Structure 1
Amino acid sequence: MLTARDGDVRIRPVGRGDADLYLALRGDAATMRDLGGPQPPDRIRAGHAREVAETAAGRADIVVAEVATADGWVAAGNVSLVAHPPAGAEVGWLVLPEHRGRGVARSAVRLLLGLPGTAERWGVVEAQPSVGNTASNRLCAALGSTDRGEVDVEFAGQRFRCRRWELDLRAQVPQ
């Protein structure tokens, strides 16, 4: 997987050294509000290790979004692109609270979906943000995704009402 940059945001493959980012993201109540609340540290560490292995094996494209600061590049969140039948893949993202509202997720998602070979590999990409997650639903619309309506989704043993968005990467390049 390649790295990519768009102004003050860049992406790189997730690695073993990103465990603290995962703990900060998935252990934060505000970040995980629409995903059932913060996860316990052991579960976060196991999920991180699994995502590093899946990315290294080429079974998923999971990246860390970094932002440029006066002190250099700082991890701000992550974006995952994983197999999800019947669509080709599901895309999801999390951004640390201090970096929200600055376009980090939008830039990182666009960078990941625009990497060479992504459209051919994954084809149709789906996102399923909670119906109450206005920012994520706006991002899906801004990507040019098609709103397929509301669905019930199970995550972490809980059911959530989500909006299902679909984007055929073969038909368009995210802007």
Structure 2
Amino acid sequence: MSAASAFMGGMSDVSLRPWSDDDLDLLRRTNAPELTANLGGPESDEQVATRHERYLRGWRDGSSQMYAITTPDHPEGVGAIGFWPRDEGGRALFEAGWTVVAAHQGHGIARAALDLLVAEARAADPARALAAYPRVDNEASNALCRRAGFVLEGVEEFEYPKGTWLASNVWVLPPEADATA
């Protein structure tokens, strides 16, 4: 488990801290309607607690790496970001997901956190591509993928949450070796 940080020109450091028992409140803060509109809406308290346990278990069993996004002024966290293995038609990927609390959006925090996450994913397996699947109408996440160098491969229908099918863009950041080709 590592923590990573990056300096955002003119603003404080953005760091990733491995998800911990203390991050349940952060997960509750990211469960706001304006942050979950592209994910089917807020979850129940029980669903949030279950997801928190899944994030913790991911570190223990190696099934995922979820992080709290922190700054020196907000060590309790301003968002969450992480990755987990995914097999897409025989292609091994890491899927990435993120959210930043509304009050901290628009300051480059998500971009800095995604840059750090890419480094963590590359360290975990440099041969795996990193993919993200924002809804087609999620302008902020689609712009973030574009600015971070992900390539738009198409649009697919995804079921999330269960029973809700929506069109999502398929953004892929090739493995490091492919990125320089």
TM-score past 0.5 threshold? yes
The CA deviation at 1:119 is 4.1
Counterpart CA distance in 1 for 2:179 and 2:61 is: 27
Specify the alignment match of 1:2 in structure 2.
Answer: 2
Deviation per CA, 1:34-69, whole angstroms, max 9, x where unpaired? 111111110000111111111222221111100222
The amino acid that maps onto 2:179 is Q
Counterpart CA distance in 1 for 2:166 and 2:153 is: 16
- Aligned to 1:30, what secondary structure does the other structure show? helix
The CA deviation at 1:19 is 0.3
Counterpart CA distance in 1 for 2:179 and 2:20 is: 30
Contact in 1 for aligned 2:157/2:166 (Cα 8 Å): yes
The CA deviation at 1:118 is 3.1
The reply to whether residue 60 of structure 1 matches residue 64 of structure 2 is yes
TM-score, normalisation: structure 1:
0.90
The amino acid that maps onto 1:46 is T
Counterpart CA distance in 2 for 1:142 and 1:118 is: 23
Specify the alignment match of 1:99 in structure 2.
Answer: 104
- Aligned to 1:132, what secondary structure does the other structure show? coil
Structure 2 unaligned regions, length at least 5: 8-12
The reply to whether residue 82 of structure 1 matches residue 84 of structure 2 is yes
Specify the alignment match of 1:23 in structure 2.
Answer: 28
Deviation per CA, 1:81-140, whole angstroms, max 9, x where unpaired? 0111124110010111111111111111110211362342x6111100011111100111
TM-score, normalisation: structure 2:
0.87
Of the three residues 149, 152, 158, the one matched with 1:153 is 158
Contact in 1 for aligned 2:26/2:76 (Cα 8 Å): no
Deviation per CA, 1:2-42, whole angstroms, max 9, x where unpaired? 1111122000100111001111112x000001111111110
Specify the alignment match of 1:44 in structure 2.
Answer: 48
Counterpart CA distance in 2 for 1:110 and 1:54 is: 21
Counterpart CA distance in 2 for 1:68 and 1:151 is: 38
% same residue: 26
Q: Please tell me the root mean square deviation across aligned C-alpha atoms, in Å.
A: 1.6
